[in-house]
Amino acid sequence: MSAIALADGERLHWPGGVRLGDRTIAVLVFLSGFVFIEPSPSDLLLVATAIVWAFCGLRLNRYSLPHTVLLLCYIAGGWLAFTQVRDFTRPFSYMMTSTFLVASSIFFAAVVAEAPERRLRLIRNAYVAVGVVTAIIAVLAYFGVLPHSEFFKRYDRAMGPFKDPNVFAPFLVLPLCFLVRDILTRRLRESVWEIAGSLIIIFAIFLAFSRAAWGLSVIAVLVTAYLAFASSINKLVRFRLVAYLLAGSAAIMLLLAVAVSIPAIRDLYEIRAHVVQDYDDGHGGRFDRQWNGFFLVQEKPLGLGPWEFAKIFGDDQHNMWLKGFTDYGWLGGFSYIILVVWTLAESCRLLFRQRPWTPIVQCSFAVYFGHVFLMHNVIDNDHWRHLYLIYGILWGAIAAEKLMRRKQRQTAAVSPSPVKRRSMVAAA
């Protein structure tokens, strides 16, 4: 939308095209917080946007090819597994949503690589805005303040404009990390709105009563704080960061203690606070299903297809690694494992680069780290839009960094060194 790709590699810019394209990205990120149905409106809008961008000059970056190729292999494995199902209606809708999300991740990686500073800032701001808005909706609906509040709750748990509390709460963790990092690296009087927004988001995450999301929040915030601490060389800033973190933790504990004093919240908290629930352990429980499922996929190289695992074992996998093999076959399962390892390895190299977008990359990595080492093991999150956005952010930043370094090498090769320049001047 911002330009037409020409044969010589130059681009013809349309008046206002860049601004309109950037606003479209922000709208897409904001709409990702409203998921009542699948495919969601944001999925359909993304397809139309990606097609227009493709015709108007958006090109895939060769440095993000591992991300693109592995995701395409992952989705190809899913369509191969789709051939194993008998009832095609629901599985077809499932696979179309998976395809939209893979396309979204590739799209975001491409647009970020093209203009990382500007577009990552847009994505960050849009995500924080939708995070605060959906958190406010969830909190107000939980206490019955909004009309038709029952549409924003399930099993007395806040879920906001989502279909499931277990998806809604993890969605809020990345904007929480953005706000927390701002608070930790600024003076308090400059972070009034950030403090208010983070408290609202924390309360919404708590009211979702998702044990995995609680754990993800703790892991992601701690990793974010560590990366911010390690990135600063100023001892005073480091001391202030630690002091803010400790004071903030105490304030949050006090807030949650007040919330738990409400009888309805306390009763549900006492149930959800147990690490292992009745449906996790024992014969036919979550762990038993996962154990049997890993043996089953060894006999099914094409996988089972969407929803087939639940038909066999009575419930879903609740494990991303297992879901990769059952719903996407061996091709999809192994492709996803390779993608995870590659993403961790490449994104670790970006964490302490002196770039304007490094804070955004650090927060995204912190949340991704929590997903890989916690969420992937306790829930199947292959349709979580924010996870595909995080892949797009990280791989867009990876590609942008490599592009920048290549340009620096080319400039150094063309420009003579200071010693050689002095010799040339003396000879002249």
Among 194, 182, 58, 80, smallest CA distance to 132 is for 194
- Distance of alpha carbon 336 from alpha carbon 345, whole angstroms: 14
- Range from 34-38, 167-171, 323-327 carrying the lowest mean pLDDT: 34-38
Mean pLDDT (the chain, rounded)? 85
pLDDT at 126: 96
CB environment 355-372: b (16+ within 10 A), e (fewer): bebbbbbbbbbbbbbbbe
- Distance of alpha carbon 73 from alpha carbon 81, whole angstroms: 12
Beta strands in 142-282 (DSSP E): 153-154, 157-158
Residue with tokens 């977008």: 357
Beta strand 153-154 pairing with 157-158: antiparallel
Among 120, 122, 118, smallest CA distance to 109 is for 120
The rounded percent of the chain whose pLDDT value lies above 90 is: 48
pLDDT at 224 over 60: yes
pLDDT at 166 over 70: yes
pLDDT at 404 over 80: yes
Answer for the pair 178, 363: CB distance below 8 angstroms, yes or no. yes
pLDDT at 298 over 90: no
3-state secondary structure of 157: strand
pLDDT at 280 over 80: no
Among 396, 400, 403, smallest CA distance to 343 is for 396
pLDDT at 2: 40
User: pLDDT (tens digit, 9 = 90+) per residue, 356-396?
Assistant: 999 999 999 999 999 999 999 988 888 899 999 999 999 99
Q: Where residue 415 falls among pLDDT bands split at 50, 70, 90?
A: low
Residue with tokens 């701002």: 182
pLDDT at 421: 56
- Averaged pLDDT, 296-323: 87
Q: Where residue 58 falls among pLDDT bands split at 50, 70, 90?
A: confident
Q: Where residue 1 falls among pLDDT bands split at 50, 70, 90?
A: very low
pLDDT at 273: 62
pLDDT at 272: 64
- Range from 94-108, 186-200, 245-259, 413-427 carrying the lowest mean pLDDT: 413-427
pLDDT at 3: 40
pLDDT at 285: 62
Sign of CA dihedral 5, 7, 8, 12: negative
Between 416 and 402, the more confident residue is: 402
pLDDT at 406 over 90: no
- Range from 35-49, 70-84, 92-106, 180-194 carrying the lowest mean pLDDT: 35-49
pLDDT at 71: 97
- Averaged pLDDT, 388-416: 89
Q: What are phi and psi of 370, to 5 degrees?
A: -65, -35
Q: Where residue 12 falls among pLDDT bands split at 50, 70, 90?
A: very low
- Distance of alpha carbon 397 from alpha carbon 361, whole angstroms: 7
- Range from 48-57, 117-126, 268-277 carrying the lowest mean pLDDT: 268-277
pLDDT at 420 over 60: no
Hey, what are 215's tokens? 């754990």
Paired strand residues for 163: none
pLDDT at 412: 79
pLDDT at 292: 80
Residues in the chain: 428
- Averaged pLDDT, 100-123: 93
pTM: 0.88
